[in-house]
Each structure stands twice: as C-alpha cells, then as structure tokens.
C-alpha cells in the first residue's frame, strides 16, 4: 500500500535513544558488557500510529551481529495519538566494551497503512573507553 504524498494525514514517528553502561551486571574479564537503553518514541505526525514490531541490529566492536525481532516493546504495542510519546527502558549484552545498536519499529495507522520508523544508530560504550 502506498501513501499519497498529497494526503494531509501523514504518519511520522521520531525515535530518540539513550544508552547507559551497567557495571554491576557486567563481567569484563568474561567479556560480558551489560547496557540499558531508554527509547523515546514520539508521534510527530498527524495520525495515530500503533507500534507493531521491533527490529534491532546490535553489533559489537569485533563485528559480531545480533538481530532481534519481535512483537511490540517490553510486552506492549503502544498506540500513539498525534503529539503523544511513549518511553521504555530495556537492555542488551555484548562481548566488547564498545558496540552499536540501530533498527526500526514497524508501525501501523488506523486505516492499515504500515511504515517503518527508523531507530538511529547509537553507541554502547563503557565510560572512558571512547574519547
């Protein structure tokens, strides 16, 4: 299904990530680096949109890639009205002190139009590793 660019109703979602290292759950000697990330999802368009699925690409500094796909986020499929935001925190584990995450959320409007909201790439890093 294609969206007519002249249509006044436009879906648009903005995703803002923020990551934090969790030293108390990490075991650096064993190559286990634990990070939490908080994601803010804002409906910046003028139609309601529901988050259906997530797709993550998690890469450590040795180029090991984990892909994660699933329904919703943290057990929810939030519906965001225009101007509304949803925030959640989750976590991941990688084998190196530095890595990246990026991906997308599959969203749907009430009329069934589906679109991907990109999750911009962000860095997972142990403090003081990167300058």
Residue 32 CA to residue 95 CA, distance in Å, equals 5
Measuring CA to CA, how many Å separate 18 from each of 40, 75, 91, 116, 118? Answer: 9, 20, 11, 20, 15
Domain ranges of the chain: 13-125
Q: Residue 123: is its pLDDT beyond 60? A: yes
pTM as predicted: 0.88
Among 9-13, 70-74, 91-95, 96-100, whose mean pLDDT is lowest?
A: 9-13
Q: What is the pLDDT of residue 6?
A: 47
Alpha-helical runs (H) found in the chain: none
- Report the pLDDT value the prediction gives residue 115, as an integer from 0 to 100: 97
Topology of domain 13-125 in CATH is Immunoglobulin-like (2.60.40)
Q: What is the pLDDT of residues 8-45, one digit of tens each?
A: 678 999 999 999 999 999 999 999 999 999 999 999 99
């Amino acid at each position: 299904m294609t969206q007519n660019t002249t249509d006044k109703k436009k879906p648009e979602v903005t995703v803002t990530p923020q990551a934090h290292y969790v030293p108390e759950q990490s075991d650096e000697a064993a190559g286990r680096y634990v990070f939490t990330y908080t994601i803010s999802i804002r409906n910046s368009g003028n139609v309601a949109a529901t988050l259906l699925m997530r797709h993550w690409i998690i890469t450590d500094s040795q180029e090991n890639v984990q892909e994660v796909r699933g329904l919703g986020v943290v057990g929810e499929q939030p519906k965001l009205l225009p101007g509304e935001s949803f925030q959640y925190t989750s976590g991941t584990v990688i084998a190196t002190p530095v890595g990246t995450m990026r991906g997308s959320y599959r969203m749907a409007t009430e009329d069934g139009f589906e679109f991907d909201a990109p999750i911009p790439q962000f860095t997972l890093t142990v403090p003081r590793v990167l300058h």
